[in-house]
Amino acid sequence: MFDKLEAVEARFLEIEHKLGDPELANRPDEFRRLSKEHASLLEVVAEYRHYRKTKSEIQSNKELLIEGDPEFTAMAKEELKILEPELDSSAKRLQVLLLPQDPNDLKNVFLEVRAGAGGEEAALFAGELYRLYQKYSERQGWRTEVMSVSQAEKGGLKEVILMIEGTKVYSRLKFEAGVHRVQRVPETEAQGRVHTSTVTVAVLPEAEEIDVQINPADLRIDVFRSSGAGGQSVNTTDSAVRITHLPSGVVVACQDERSQLKNKEKAMKILRSRILEAEQEKAAKEHADSRRAMVGTGDRSERIRTYNFPQGRLTDHRIGFTIHQLPDVMEGHIQELLDALQTHYQAEALKQAGYAGT
């Protein structure tokens, strides 16, 4: 492990040196790539330096014990009670940090929420899930932007695509992908029977132009008049844009901006991310063994969670984790759940990597 850590720190220092080169400003793609790599290595290098510092302090205190001075011996013993457990904890954190990283972890995401089975009730819950993720993002200090939204006739949402920008957004939200099931009594239910509805969530890492190369000749771009909510002037021009990627059949439509150009820019961002997702899913199927180590597959058809309102609880079926404060969860308090998922995944990955004691 420590040979690997030395190599990581050497690479980190090499990147720092390159980033200090004034000429790099003339190569923005390389600058962006190096900056991302630097950010991805920062945490492990900081932890490794902390480990070395702690180990050095332990050695110094053990030397004081050997010298035998009563006053310094007592101080050294107290210091060692703190330092030795911290060294063990630091070593465990380093094991986790050295696990193979998902290349998308540092990326922003497109979070897509769609009403599934259950009609009006599914649309209402889709709106509530969208609000949940909005509130959680606000607490994290992330920036959000609605890329596309389709309102349901009697309230709620048929579909919404939310772009979330910030630090390690994909890393935190990637396990949200799948089918979310809600059980509750609808307001329109006269006999108080519990109904079950579903909402589908997809989490797509933002794809940059360097991640996905799209040939303009492979695109069919249609413009049309916007419909639905958005103000009277939205509907007076052909500002809505629909882009079809002919080789894959992926279709994206945006109509929320009054500018055709802005709608096209939004649609292209979503299109790139959907194509990247399709490419990564294909690659994942070719590496099925490593995929089994993950918490769930992220497949949109997989039922991952149940929100039971009569009993006030949420259960994540992948890890058997239950929270009994459902009202708080619906206000965006999902950190405990996300931490549990992350911890479970890391533990499984450590077993796969063959680390002892995991």
pLDDT digits (tens, 9 = 90+) for 83-142: 999 999 999 888 878 877 777 888 899 999 999 988 889 999 999 999 999 999 999 999
Closest CA to 306 of 201, 203, 198, 202: 198
Q: How confident is the model at residue 267 (pLDDT cuts 50, 70, 90)?
A: confident
Statement: residue 65 has pLDDT above 80:
yes
As a whole number of Å, the end-to-end CA separation of the chain is 16
Q: Which helix (H) or strand (E) holds 254?
A: strand 250-254
Asked if 202 and 273 count as a contact pair (C-beta separation under 8 A), the reply is no
User: What is the pTM (predicted TM-score) of this model?
Assistant: 0.69
pLDDT at 304 over 90: yes
Per residue in 125-174, pLDDT tens?
A: 999 999 999 999 999 999 999 988 888 887 889 999 999 999 889 999 99
pLDDT band at residue 302, thresholds of 50, 70 and 90?
A: low
Other CB atoms within a 10 A radius of the CB of residue 49 amount to 12
Domains parsed from the chain with CATH numbers: 2-97 (1.20.58), 109-208+297-353 (3.30.70.1660), 216-284 (3.30.160.20)
Q: How confident is the model at residue 234 (pLDDT cuts 50, 70, 90)?
A: very low
Q: How far apart are CA 237 and CA 226, in angstroms?
A: 8
Structure-token pair, residue 68: 């035998």
